[in-house]
Structure 1
Amino acid sequence: MPTRAELAREGDVNSSPHRELWMNTLDEESRERLSADEAVFMKQSMSTPCMNVIVDAQGCYITDKNGKKYLDFHGNSVHQVGYKNPYVLEAVKKQFDELPFIPRRYTADIAIQAARALINKTLSQDFKVLFTPSGTAAVGIALKIARKATGRHKVISMWESFHGAGLDSISVGGEYVFSKDMGPLLPGCIKAIPYNGYRNLIHSSCPHTIADFCLDYIEYIIKNEGDIGAILLEPIRATDTHIPPQAYFQRLRKICDQEGILLIFDEIPTALGRSGEFYVHQNFGIEPDILVLGKGLGGGLIPQAAVLTKSKYDYAADISLGHYTHEKPAAGCAAICAVIRYIDENNLLENCRAQSAFAAQRSAVLYSKYQCIGDFRIAGLLISFEIVKDRTSKEKADNLAERILYYCLEHGLSFKISAGNCITWHPPLIVTKEQLSSAFDIFEKAIKSCIKNH
């Protein structure tokens, strides 16, 4: 198993003393169920042991075996429209009754409608679509398209990035806990330090200085490495919410155009409105050549992902890019259409922006009161708080962050820890001001309690 230090760089630590104490608060029946889980599922870091047993997920909440409800600001980033959304659920049920499966080499109206719905949400509406059963698979397809379109196999991606757990996606991903002990990965995968890495490296508070430093290095790689076909990154880092300035993306787009390099954005956990725009890159005034989507596409019901590629790169008819059993997934397409309609008809982007402004106000108040919050970053309802020992040095306080997590869980608020010390919230777009206010109240009480008892 990875060490605590290795895990704390990237996510929740499932084998810490704090986790043990939490497990001991559970009733005997729940602990028995968790033991049964370990007996049949393979162990893996950041997932094993599970922390509880749930029996329901609805709206913004999950419910455990004892009937306790948790406001869920984690949700594996699938619950943009809330769990068990009745509108999406009805659309999927109807699709199962009418046409549950579309064999390869055939199409159906629902598949065309879903692809068109995703394209219509882009600025240019100049994309074509492939569906895949997972985000990891979608990243693999994006890499294949870039190779076919450019004739080059090398790709620049970022340290600390996450693009899925397959061998191809961990080759371009930058989290050690996924590539540890895996041996040789895909050749031609070159890592650059991400925007947030440069931010920490050069200790500058000027976003444009950091952006230029970062992009100068990417240009250096392109010049000295050669044969680069693609640059792959998360436009907003999902796990700890790092947000480069618009100038970063404007220049990055220009570099890719000048060098004939395809720009790939992985928006799997962040798209569908969570950034305040339907697609994350729409915050920055550019479009990628390839856009990778997943998670919330299936409405929290169906595992569903997609790749959107600029129409001019649609010339891979002589190879099989995906060839998936569920190449045009009927139920997944019904979910996609229903999710998009629900977001539009219920003005969820507007709600996201309104709740984001409220979250920013509450966060600023907490930042002014508690020195253990070294920084907070918000884009729409992508929210992170850095927990530090000292605001000047910004030394990570991963132990404090973990204690805050378990206090919040005890009081009915669930979220994830990223990068060891970042408390990260991904509320669904349906979240209300009252629910957000309740989350902030619990969070502040956790900070007070954990500092007092430190």
Structure 2
Amino acid sequence: MSINVPEVKTEEQVSSVNDYIKKVLALIEKEEVTEEEAKWVTKETVDGFREHVNPGFLAYRKTVTEGGQFAAVEWSDEGSCFTDVNGKKYIDCLGGFGIYNVGHRNPKVVKAVSDQMKRQALHSQDLLDPLRAMLAKILADITPGDLKYAFFTNSGTESVEASLKLAKMYSDRTTFISTTRSFHGKSLGSLSGTAKGMFRKPFLPLIPGFRHVPFGDIDMMRKTFETCAMVGEDVAAVILEPIQGEGGIIIPPQDYLKQVRALCDEYDALLIFDEVQTGMGRTGKMFAAELFDVVPDILCLAKAFGGGVMPAGAIVAREKVFKSWFDNPFMHTTTFGGNPLACAAAIATIDILLEDKLPERAAEVGEYFLKGLKEAAAGHEDKVFEIRGQGLMIGIEFHQDEIGYEVSKGMFDKGILVAGTLVNSKTIRIEPPLTMSYEEVDTVIQAFKEVLPTVQITN
């Protein structure tokens, strides 16, 4: 029998790696790079993705570039824009899928994180860390209704996972209702709530007990509750995005969310709002729940929660729900969730949103943006099916996937980044920073107006 002996790195190989690391660190330190350095960065990035990250990303990125060239290698960012390594500037209308609500590298967020870094970066895991307590108090004060206790995470899917585990501990029920076209993340629990079959099939069976009903169909929701009760599989919780993001910016029918709330109350089930994308001011309110005058039992946050500087997320829950974790606070933990740097970033982010009235600004700028896009699309009804949105969460739905791809490419060539949604590829999203200027909005609208006539319809 042969034995695999690990290959020992030679001194020369180790030295080569060390040299490479020093070259990369020196580039990080530089404010500007030369043309030669930019070419090296581009080559290393493309080669690195092909050989060590995932070559599939290269094929994907070609769909948004001119002449089949690889997409720009991003290098720096500020305000509503990012700049590639060659110095070309782009208006960011993707916003990292809704990360940059307070802008790219907002100085207040950067300062808060930098100041905290000078004192302590990560917590001991054993002593009481102050910023976690302070951020939890702030969330209790700004979230709707009687949401009171917070648990901190590093991402949206982690927030959803935490909400599902909390709901399971609240009662002995195991049935969850989600909706079609929903997106709640890709870890196994959150993926069980996500609707798109392409993401689900390779990992089946997922967490048992999940049922999906059409988003916006209150009659089907009611029948599902009734059926589950009849067969002894009572519903533990309903998980919803107040406005579906990845599904294509789908706004619910009037009173739908209130009716879902009423059903949950009638059947003693919990209501979970996944506000990972709709939260932190994007829809014109601090939380989309406020738009519909509905208070969930658990609210999930992430993406913009860290101010576009730190990965950060949270769930906020009512005391009657959260107290399931009182007896043993170690039932669900995460090493880096609620770390001092992330908490500093979130606190500064909330300060900016409140002080600069960014939710209100999102409502005003969003209305202006939506009107301008609709006017630009006039006469192209054969290409554009619908333009819809709430605040600075806007979707442009086309009749064909190919039209959306071509529009995205055309906009990118003009220095504007947009992208399709993960669940609905016919729809491209507009989710820029809430700090975006009216001049930048006008530039995007004009580019959209110029690109539309150049797009050909295929049979």
Give, in angstroms, the shift of residue 56 of structure 1.
0.6
Rounded to whole Å, the distance in 1 between the matches of 2:239 and 2:105 is 33
Find the residue that maps to 2:113 and give its secondary structure. helix
Residue identity in the other structure for 2:79:
G
1:55 lines up with 2:55 in the alignment: no
Find the residue that maps to 2:245 and give its secondary structure. coil
Rounded to whole Å, the distance in 2 between the matches of 1:444 and 1:245 is 30
Using the aligned pairs only, state the percent identity: 27
Q: Which runs of 5+ in 1 are unaligned?
A: 1-25, 196-210, 389-396
1:118 is matched with 139
Greater CA deviation, 363-372 or 399-408? 363-372
Distance verdict in 2 for CA 1:453–1:220, change over 3 Å: closer
1:416 is matched with 419
Q: Is the CA contact (8 Å cut-off) linking 2:49 and 2:58 kept in structure 1?
A: no
Q: Compute the TM-score of the two structures, normalised by the length of structure 2.
A: 0.83
Which of 255, 264, 267 in structure 2 is aligned with 1:247?
255
Give, in angstroms, the shift of residue 435 of structure 1.
0.8
Give, in angstroms, the shift of residue 406 of structure 1.
0.4
Residue identity in the other structure for 1:237:
Q
Residue identity in the other structure for 2:387:
F
1:20 is matched with none
Rounded to whole Å, the distance in 2 between the matches of 1:452 and 1:184 is 40
Which of 390, 398, 405 in structure 2 is aligned with 1:402?
405
Distance verdict in 2 for CA 1:43–1:30, change over 3 Å: closer
Greater CA deviation, 140-149 or 50-59? 50-59
Rounded to whole Å, the distance in 2 between the matches of 1:44 and 1:166 is 20
1:270 is matched with 278
Task: Report matched runs for 1:88-167 at 5 Å.
Answer: 88-167=109-188
Rounded to whole Å, the distance in 1 between the matches of 2:43 and 2:338 is 41
Q: Is the CA contact (8 Å cut-off) linking 1:104 and 1:326 kept in structure 2?
A: no
Task: Report matched runs for 1:24-423 at 5 Å.
Answer: 30=42, 33-42=45-54, 51-76=71-96, 77-195=98-216, 211-224=217-230, 226-239=233-246, 240-313=248-321, 314-319=323-328, 320-371=330-381, 372-388=383-399, 397-418=400-421, 419-423=424-428
Greater Rg by CA: 2
Greater CA deviation, 343-352 or 228-237? 343-352
1:203 is matched with none
Rounded to whole Å, the distance in 2 between the matches of 1:214 and 1:370 is 35
Find the residue that maps to 2:262 and give its secondary structure. helix
Rounded to whole Å, the distance in 2 between the matches of 1:165 and 1:87 is 32
Distance verdict in 2 for CA 1:383–1:47, change over 3 Å: farther
CA RMSD, Structure 1 to Structure 2 (Å): 2.3
Give, in angstroms, the shift of residue 445 of structure 1.
0.8
Residue identity in the other structure for 2:167:
A
Rounded to whole Å, the distance in 2 between the matches of 1:405 and 1:351 is 26
Distance verdict in 2 for CA 1:452–1:289, change over 3 Å: closer
Rounded to whole Å, the distance in 1 between the matches of 2:39 and 2:385 is 36
Rounded to whole Å, the distance in 1 between the matches of 2:271 and 2:181 is 18
1:16 is matched with none
Q: Which runs of 5+ in 2 are unaligned?
A: 1-37, 62-69
Q: Deviations over 1:6-60 (max 9, x none)?
A: xxxxxxxxxxxxxxxxxxxx98973553122221114567995573311112111
Rounded to whole Å, the distance in 1 between the matches of 2:88 and 2:191 is 37
Q: Deviations over 1:116-160 (max 9, x none)?
A: 222211232432000012221111111111111121111111222
Rounded to whole Å, the distance in 2 between the matches of 1:308 and 1:289 is 8
Residue identity in the other structure for 1:352:
A
Q: Is the CA contact (8 Å cut-off) linking 2:78 and 2:105 kept in structure 1?
A: yes
Q: Deviations over 1:318-340 (max 9, x none)?
A: 44332221243101110110000
How many residue pairs get aligned? The number is: 406
Distance verdict in 2 for CA 1:45–1:250, change over 3 Å: farther
Rounded to whole Å, the distance in 2 between the matches of 1:374 and 1:88 is 39
Q: Is the CA contact (8 Å cut-off) linking 2:377 and 2:449 kept in structure 1?
A: no
Distance verdict in 2 for CA 1:52–1:176, change over 3 Å: farther
Rounded to whole Å, the distance in 2 between the matches of 1:256 and 1:250 is 10
Rounded to whole Å, the distance in 1 between the matches of 2:119 and 2:57 is 41
Rounded to whole Å, the distance in 1 between the matches of 2:60 and 2:426 is 20
Q: Compute the TM-score of the two structures, normalised by the length of structure 1.
A: 0.84
Find the residue that maps to 1:315 and give its secondary structure. helix
Find the residue that maps to 2:203 and give its secondary structure. coil
Distance verdict in 2 for CA 1:365–1:145, change over 3 Å: same
Rounded to whole Å, the distance in 1 between the matches of 2:181 and 2:154 is 24
